[in-house]
Each structure stands twice: as C-alpha cells, then as structure tokens.
Amino acid sequence: MESEKTTANNKQPKQSNKNQSNKDNLYSKQFNQKYAPNNTSEIVGQDEQLRIIKKSISEYKKNKKKAILIYGPSGTGKTSTIYALAKELDLEIIEVNASDSRNAESLENRIVPAIKQQSLFGKKKIILIDEIDGISGSQDRGGIPSILKIIEESPYPIIMTANDPWDQKFNSLRSKSILVQYDAISTLAMISKLKDICKKEGIEIDDDALLTLSRKNQGDLRSAINDLENIAGLNEKITKEHVNETSEREREETIINALLKIFKTKDPEIALTAFNNVEEDIDKIFLWIDENLSKEYKNEESLAKAYTELSDADVLFGRIRRWQYYRFYAYIYEILSVGVALSKKEKNPSYIKYSPSSRILKMWIINQKNLRKKSVASKISSYTHTSLKRSLTDMPYIKLIAKNNTILNKLASELKLSDEEIEWLKK
C-alpha cells in the first residue's frame, strides 16, 4: 500500500516523537493485509453469497455448471472470500490474474500443469482466475476459449471474479458458470468495520468523519481501509474535514494522471484508457482540458485541431442534455481522450503544472444549481398550473417540506424528478 505522507499544503502536523513513532508503526502494518478476512465469518455483507459459493464448491462434481463466477464492485470481498474459504477448507489456491494473462498460451502455461499435478501436501485445490474483465478487448487472443477448455477439463473447482461480466464476449463463460453477485458494502456495515479497526489501532476519529469516509467510498471497503490508513498517518485525530481534504486531493491527482495520458502521448490505446479511473463529472473534465490545453499545445495548428475536437465533444454533450441521447457518452470520452491526444504534431517535452479553472468552475457550479432549481420549479409550475416565477418564489418552502422523506418521495413520483433534482431538493 502506498504510504506517501503528504498533505494539501505539503506540511506535516507537528507530533511528539512518541506519537510520530506510533504513526510510523501504523503505516508499517498495512491495514488491508492485516485486516484481510481469515475466515468467512469476517466477510462483510455477503452472507447469502457465501452460502451459494460453499455449496457450489462442496457439490462441484454434481454441478452441471462447472465454474463459479463472482461479480460485483471493487472492494466487496470477491477475492478475499476465496482465500478465506481456502483456509477454512484446507484447500490449495492456484491463482491467475486474467489482466496479466490475456492470451491462451499464457493462461494454459499457468493453469494446465496445476490441474494435472497433485498438490505437494496432498491438498485439494481451487483454481482462481481473478479479474476476467481484463481478458476482453483487442489483446484477447483465445483467452476465453482457453478458460472454457480449462473449465471442462479441470478436476478442481474453477472460480472467476469480475466487476462486470455482462460483456457479450463473456456469454459462453456465463453459460458454463454459477453466477454469484456481490453487493456494494452498506454504509452501516462499513462504519462498523472501520470503527472496529480504529478501536484496535487506537485511532481517534469523529462519527462524522466515519460517516463521510464510508459514504465517499461508495461500498468499496478496501478503498475505505486504504483511506483510513493514509489519513491516520497524518493526523492524531481524524475529523470530517480531513476526509474531505483527502477526497478532493485524490480527485485532482486522478484527473491530472488522465491529462498526462492525453497530452503526453500519441498512442491511441494509451489515451483511450485516460478516463478509466476518473470519477468526475463530464462538465469538469471539459473544464480541466480547456484550462490546460493551451499550456501543452504550443503549435497553433495542433491547438486548433484539439479545440475542434473539444467543440465536437461539446456538441454531443449538448445533445445528451437536450434529447437524452446517452449513447453519445461513449463518443464524448473517445473524442476527449484519443481525439485531443492525436491532434498534436509532437509531444511537448516540458513539464507542465496542470490546474483547474476555478473561475469557470465556480460559474459552472452556480449555473448547475440554478439549472436544477429552474428544472424543479418548471415541473412544479406545470403540475400545479402556476407560473414559473411563482414556483421559483415558493422554492424555499418546497425545499423545507421536502426534508420529510415521505413528502420528498411523493414529490419525486408525482413530478417525475431525476436523481439530480431529488438530490438538489434534499440539500
């Protein structure tokens, strides 16, 4: 785990030598490894899923479907479950990460010898093919047929994990597998787990900070534990503000990495992956690219081409907003990444410090709030046959009564409010 000790202003809080030593010890423990489940009772929030997996492994030879495909969001315990089960059942694990073994030869070289040989200690085995999402795409050279062949021939259970197994390339794998969906960890379950870790490690943390940390990670327990470790290494007592500062800094670091892939490469395959891990509104991505484009592209022709690409993406985004043509999102991300990357004649070798456009960003945030306000007011005026002006005037009272969840749900249903409009009413 990364344990880089930096703060937003690059200043580390003063601590006594004793406290500093304690913090260094916390870092050396590496929470995610230390608190990895040793048995299935420590797996959080997947009780029914565990029952299905245990039964499928015990009845492996009877099953018509010879593999188990566990899928769901990151950090929900998919891989940890298999290791915990192996400890409980005294099984040897043969693990292959599909992202590192994308073709048939690579997969078979690793797995086939393992399924043909007996374990050194006479143990039974589980074959774990982790992250099969990574086997799809242009680099997939027979990888899926190879897995199907291994499933048919293996005398041991084959277990695969994936975030999203619904790509059409996985149709044949799904038909041969028992599908087990892992749910995102609930906020309450995550708070309970984090609180337990804090108690064992002697970490002081506010209840608000625990809630914010749990919500921020959206069901990803592994990511939440990582964040807890990083923040605990910098602060004697964790507050909500510390969590928010870390979250904002991580978002900036992620978008900057995306810009580096776009601005510093002419390889379309590299550029296409730029936004894979960026959890940022598309509006803000536009602003980041617009703000930093002229810093990178010094050639006028390259700059003009790049802004043409940016303009084309904006046109498509306008059509999404106007007509809800959501399929255009795929094209927008390709234009913003590959289109902008290939616009330049050559890479700029200079180091550029990327920064957000605070003025435009603030204007955008204000406009977004006003847009949602007008959108809700427009629906109210249409439903109640009153003027838009009157609905806007009454909006403070509407927001006040919307604090009652029963009323809010009824308003959302009657007015057909979008998720964004509901969130705006709740604030």
Distance of alpha carbon 182 from alpha carbon 135, whole angstroms: 20
pLDDT band at 310 (very low <50, low <70, confident <90, very high): very high
pLDDT band at 25 (very low <50, low <70, confident <90, very high): very low
Decide if 228 contacts 194 (C-beta within 8 A): yes
Least Cα distance to 35 among 199, 239, 163 occurs for 199
Q: How many CA atoms lie within 13 A of 397 on its CB side?
A: 6
Q: Is 75 left (phi over 0), alpha (psi -120 to 50) or beta?
A: left
Segment among 97-106, 229-238, 416-425 with least mean pLDDT: 97-106
pLDDT band at 366 (very low <50, low <70, confident <90, very high): low
Query: In this predicted structure, what is the pLDDT of residue 292?
Result: 92
Decide if 107 contacts 101 (C-beta within 8 A): yes
Query: In this predicted structure, what is the pLDDT of residue 30?
Result: 60
Q: What's the pLDDT tens digit per position in 321-357?
A: 888 787 888 899 999 999 999 999 998 888 888 887 6
In degrees, to the nearest 5, what angle opens at C-alpha 207 toward C-alphas 203 and 210?
Answer: 70
Query: In this predicted structure, what is the pLDDT of residue 250?
Result: 62
Distance of alpha carbon 182 from alpha carbon 162, whole angstroms: 10
Query: In this predicted structure, what is the pLDDT of residue 251?
Result: 65
Segment among 40-44, 99-103, 126-130 with least mean pLDDT: 99-103
Query: In this predicted structure, what is the pLDDT of residue 52?
Result: 93
The structure tokens listed for 227 are 């964040």
Over residues 202-218, mean pLDDT: 87
pLDDT band at 360 (very low <50, low <70, confident <90, very high): low
Query: In this predicted structure, what is the pLDDT of residue 299?
Result: 93
Over residues 61-66, mean pLDDT: 80
Least Cα distance to 159 among 123, 139, 196, 129 occurs for 129
pLDDT band at 8 (very low <50, low <70, confident <90, very high): very low
Question: How confident is the prediction for the chain on average, in pLDDT?
Answer: 80
Strands (DSSP E) found in 90-141:
92-97, 125-130
Query: In this predicted structure, what is the pLDDT of residue 3?
Result: 36
The yes-or-no verdict on residue 379 having pLDDT over 50 is yes
Ramachandran angles phi, psi of 31, nearest 5°: -50, -45
Query: In this predicted structure, what is the pLDDT of residue 31?
Result: 62
pLDDT band at 13 (very low <50, low <70, confident <90, very high): very low
| H-run or E-run covering 67 | strand 67-71
The two beta strands, 125-130 and 158-162, are parallel
Which of the listed ranges 120-124, 223-227, 337-341 does the model predict with the highest average pLDDT? 337-341
Ramachandran angles phi, psi of 141, nearest 5°: -115, 75
Strands (DSSP E) found in 198-264:
204-205, 237-238
Query: In this predicted structure, what is the pLDDT of residue 311?
Result: 95
Query: In this predicted structure, what is the pLDDT of residue 99?
Result: 61
The structure tokens listed for 201 are 């490690």
